[in-house]
Amino acid sequence: MRLSYPTDIRIVRVPCTGKVDLIHILRAFEKGADGVSVVGCMEGDCHYNSGNFRAKKRVDQARKILDTVGIGAERVRMYNLSSSEGPRFAQYAEEMAEMIRELGPNPVRKTLQRENHQTGGER
Partner 1 sequence: MIVADKKPLEEIIEQIKDCGRLLVLGCNECVTVCEAGGKKEVGVLASSLRMFFLKEGREVKIDERTLERQCDPEYMEEIRNVADGYDAIVSIACGVGVQFTAEHYPRQRVYPGVNTCFMGATEARGLWTERCQGCGQCILAETGGICPVARCAKRLFNGPCGGSTGGKCEISKETDCAWQLIVDRLQALGKMADYERIAPIKDWSKDRAGGPRKIVREDVKE
Binding stretches for partner 1 (CB under 8 A)? 21-23, 26-27, 29-30, 64-66, 68-71, 107-108, 110-112, 114-115
Query: Residue 79 in contact with residue 92, Cβ under 8 Å?
Result: yes
Query: Residue 37 in contact with residue 76, Cβ under 8 Å?
Result: yes
To partner 1, the closest distance from the beta carbon of 96 in angstroms equals 20
To partner 1, the closest distance from the beta carbon of 37 in angstroms equals 18
To partner 1, the closest distance from the beta carbon of 94 in angstroms equals 27
Sequence-ordered strand ranges (E) for the chain: 36-40, 76-80
Closest CA to 61 of 36, 96, 97: 36
Query: Cβ closer to partner 1: 66 or 96?
Result: 66
